[in-house]
Amino acid sequence: MKSKIAITEGDGVGPEVIKEAKKILRVISDYSELQFEFQEAPAGGEVWKKYGTNLPDKSYRVIKNADALLFGAVGLPDLAPGVAESAILKIRQGLDLYINLRPIKLYEPLKSICPLKADFIGKGIDMYIIRENTEGLYANIGGILREEVAINNMIYTRKGCERVIKYAFEFAKRRKHNKITSVDKANILKPSQLWRNIFTELGNKFPNINQENIYIDAFCQWLIRAPYSYETVVTGNLFGDIISDEGAFLIGSLGMASSGNIHPGETSMYEPIHGSAPDIAGKNVANPIGAILSVKLMLEESFKKPDIGDAIEQAVIEAIKEGRTQDIKEKNQKTLTTADMGDLIKENLKSILKR
Ligand code: NAD
Ligand code: IPM
Ligand code: MN
């Protein structure tokens, strides 16, 4: 039976990078026992302009009935902030995708473009940011009163904290990580104090994993100063959003970073962490690797095929030895378009899966 993949291309570079990620899914369909069928689920700013909603009911139904969702990016510069973007939150919260898994891994060929000095890179960068994905300041409780007062409430619930922190501990254990780092602002924020207490409570059940608490402000400098020292990092919604973009630049570009919005056992959503990148949209220059590595996460987390996930990663590593999109390019290296990069990775993946 074919697995149903809902596709939201979105706005700006969204359709450009999703086109390349679909090439990867087609190769997997051709060379493994998995079979995929795609179903469009339009959402975002262009859709809002047409239908007056950023997530038509039909798209949401398609997503809910799919085995997984591959999502590009949404947001248009000529719309007010949030008009397109809230579609993402409707999906994350509607499907209760409480884990946002964001790998930050520096591939060997990109070491030379990492903005950090060699000392700071140390033995290499390879961490997973696990971001709470349904609560915090994203809980959508608030409003603007007469353009005079604006409020958002930072909501952390015991249930919300427990489930993501528990996932993070189990993740660290599964991956044989020595250390788990919790990032919060417990020196001032009440929700962070609840979070930290729950981290400590659950931590007692995992005595073999070293545990540390770091405040978000200090963590932003530690991420630059000693990125090699992190393995599993668990944090709240807004903090996770911010540190993942910081991490993405350390591994070469925002265009390199992937993510999975996950509810284990349920329809989950996979997307590059970047936005619609209006400054480069429509030029066929965007880096599709973040979207392609999101397919890797989909294969691992939703389809339980870590071998295919590894093959995708290998195909990416081989490709960046040969050519690069402009954001990760070095002098004297061949500049690839979005489509060239996708094709190169696709061909590499074919040869790996044929073996
Ligand atoms: P952005 O991530 O779109 O772009 C930031 C910078 O990174 C830009 O210089 C851009 O060119 C570069 N960049 C992003 N993706 C790239 C890629 N694949 N390859 C090469 N370079 C890439 O962030 P922004 O400019 O703050 O936001 C633009 C719009 O996207 C806004 O509407 C924002 O709300 C939205 N947004 C959407 C998502 C999402 O859909 N998941 C995520 C973040 C931002
Ligand atoms: C992300 C994005 C979203 C977020 C926005 C567009 C709602 O920045 O996925 O990182 O803040 O979660
Ligand atoms: Mn973000």
Q: Report the CATH number at residue 214.
A: 3.40.718.10
pLDDT at 229: 98
Q: How far apart are CA 142 and CA 162, in angstroms?
A: 24
Q: Report helix, strand or coil for 58.
A: helix
Centre of ligand 2 to C-alpha 86, Å, is 9
Pair (242, 317) in one structural domain: no
| Percentage of residues in the chain having pLDDT higher than 90 | 98
Instruction: Report the domain count for the chain.
Output: 2
pLDDT at 207: 98
- pLDDT tens-digit series, residues 77-123: 999 999 999 999 999 999 999 999 999 999 999 999 999 999 999 99
Centre of ligand 3 to C-alpha 255, Å, is 12
Q: How confident is the model at residue 209 (pLDDT cuts 50, 70, 90)?
A: very high
Lowest mean pLDDT among 119-123, 153-157, 297-301, 305-309: 119-123
Averaged pLDDT for residues 269-278: 98
Which ligand 2 atom is at minimum distance from the Cα of 244?
10
**Does the structure show a pLDDT above 90 at 343?**
yes
Closest Cα to atom 5, ligand 2: which residue? 85
Pair (91, 123) in one structural domain: no
Pair (124, 244) in one structural domain: yes
Tell whether ligand 2 has an atom less than 6 A from the beta carbon of residue 79. Answer: no
Identify the residue whose tokens are 């500049």: 335
pLDDT at 286: 99
- Domain range for 270: 1-102+256-355
Closest Cα to atom 40, ligand 1: which residue? 73
Q: Is residue 329 part of a domain?
A: yes
Q: Is residue 108 part of a domain?
A: no
Closest Cα to atom 12, ligand 2: which residue? 241
Please state, rounded to an integer, the average pLDDT across all residues of the chain: 98
**Does the structure show a pLDDT above 90 at 270?**
yes
Q: Is residue 281 part of a domain?
A: yes
Q: Please choose from 70, 102, 254 the residue to mutate so as to test ligand 1's pocket, defined by most ligand atoms within 8 A of CB.
A: 254
| Pocket (CB within 6 angstroms of ligand 1) | 13, 17, 73-75, 85, 88, 253-255, 271, 274-280, 286-287, 290, 327
pLDDT at 355: 87
pLDDT at 264: 98
**Does the structure show a pLDDT above 90 at 332?**
no
Phi and psi angles of residue 176, each rounded to the nearest 5 degrees, phi first: 60, 40
Q: Is residue 110 part of a domain?
A: no
Q: How confident is the model at residue 354 (pLDDT cuts 50, 70, 90)?
A: very high
- pLDDT tens-digit series, residues 58-74: 999 999 999 999 999 99
Averaged pLDDT for residues 188-195: 98
Centre of ligand 1 to C-alpha 72, Å, is 11
Q: Which of 193, 222, 250 is the last residue of a domain?
A: 250
Pair (204, 122) in one structural domain: yes
Q: Is residue 107 part of a domain?
A: no
Catalytic residues: 138, 185, 217, 241, 245
Averaged pLDDT for residues 160-174: 98
Pair (162, 176) in one structural domain: yes
Centre of ligand 2 to C-alpha 315, Å, is 27
Q: Which of 223, 250, 277 is the last residue of a domain?
A: 250
Q: Is residue 344 part of a domain?
A: yes
Averaged pLDDT for residues 178-184: 98
What does each C-alpha distance from 204 to 85, 166, 209, 276, 349 come to in angstroms?
Answer: 38, 11, 10, 42, 42
Structure token digits, residue 63: 């997503």
The answer to whether 324 and 335 are in contact (CB under 8 A) is yes
Pair (123, 98) in one structural domain: no
